[in-house]
């Protein structure tokens, strides 16, 4: 089940808010400019599925998002626990960074943990199957797929080059919880 925890940036042991209500998660995140929605997962797609089959299954909602946000590029990331580069991929996203564009993800299957560093707080969003999250451009954040990643996510970009990060150099991500196996 999806979950939101909010911590003060200075105290990762002190949870200020914790909820698994999709409506409450959406409301709290909207208050800081982050889009969160629960979508139906009507297609049986799991880790290892081809990009073509995933995009075909979700063609209509992806096209709607592209029209709404002006996204020019779409791809699918699909990882399984036995992927030979899982540790490398995990490490790539674990440090705080920003993007010049929104980071938009729809979790077709599995899960991932977004941690957003906004206005002196850390919003830890456990996204699972059926969750759409859009992190606004310039928002400091990090992402953890866990030590045994198992997820399929559709990614949308305004930049045709795809995922481009600017790392902040902060060590804040090291002080907050990671996604367990």
Express each pLDDT in 57-112 by its tens digit: 899 999 999 999 999 889 999 888 998 999 998 998 999 999 999 999 999 999 99
Using the predicted structure, report yes or no on whether residue 180 has a pLDDT greater than 80. yes
> Looking at residue 133, what is its pLDDT?
98
C-alpha span between 63 and 56 (Å, rounded): 11
> Looking at residue 45, what is its pLDDT?
72
The overall pTM is greater than 0.85: yes
In a domain, 134, yes or no: yes
C-alpha span between 138 and 124 (Å, rounded): 17
C-alpha span between 29 and 35 (Å, rounded): 7
In a domain, 100, yes or no: yes
Structurally, the chain folds into a number of domains equal to 1
C-alpha span between 56 and 58 (Å, rounded): 5
Indicate which CATH number applies to the domain containing 94.
2.60.120.10
In a domain, 169, yes or no: no
Express each pLDDT in 1-32 by its tens digit: 899 999 999 999 999 999 999 999 999 999 99
Number of H helices, E strands in the chain: 5, 11
Closest to 41 measured CA to CA, from 113, 112, 129, 132: 129
In a domain, 175, yes or no: no
Residue 133: give the domain boundaries.
3-160
Residue 73 contacts residue 162 (beta carbons within 8 Å):
yes
């Amino acid at each position: 089940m999806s979950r939101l925890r909010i911590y003060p940036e200075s105290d990762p042991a002190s949870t200020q808010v914790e909820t698994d209500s999709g409506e409450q998660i959406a409301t709290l995140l909207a208050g800081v400019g982050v889009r969160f929605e629960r979508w139906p997962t009507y297609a049986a797609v799991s880790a290892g599925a081809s990009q073509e089959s995933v995009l075909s299954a979700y063609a209509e909602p992806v096209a709607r998002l592209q029209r709404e946000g002006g996204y020019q590029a779409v791809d699918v990331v699909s990882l399984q626990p036995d992927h030979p580069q899982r540790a490398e991929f995990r490490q790539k996203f674990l440090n705080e960074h920003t993007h010049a564009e929104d980071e938009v993800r729809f979790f077709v299957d599995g899960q991932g943990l977004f941690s957003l560093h906004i206005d002196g707080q850390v919003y830890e969003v456990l996204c699972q199957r059926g969750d759409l999250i859009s992190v606004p451009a310039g928002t400091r954040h990090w992402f953890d797929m866990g030590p045994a990643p198992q997820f399929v996510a559709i990614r949308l970009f305004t930049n045709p080059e795809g995922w481009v990060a600017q790392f902040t150099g902060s060590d804040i991500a090291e002080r907050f919880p990671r996604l367990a196996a």
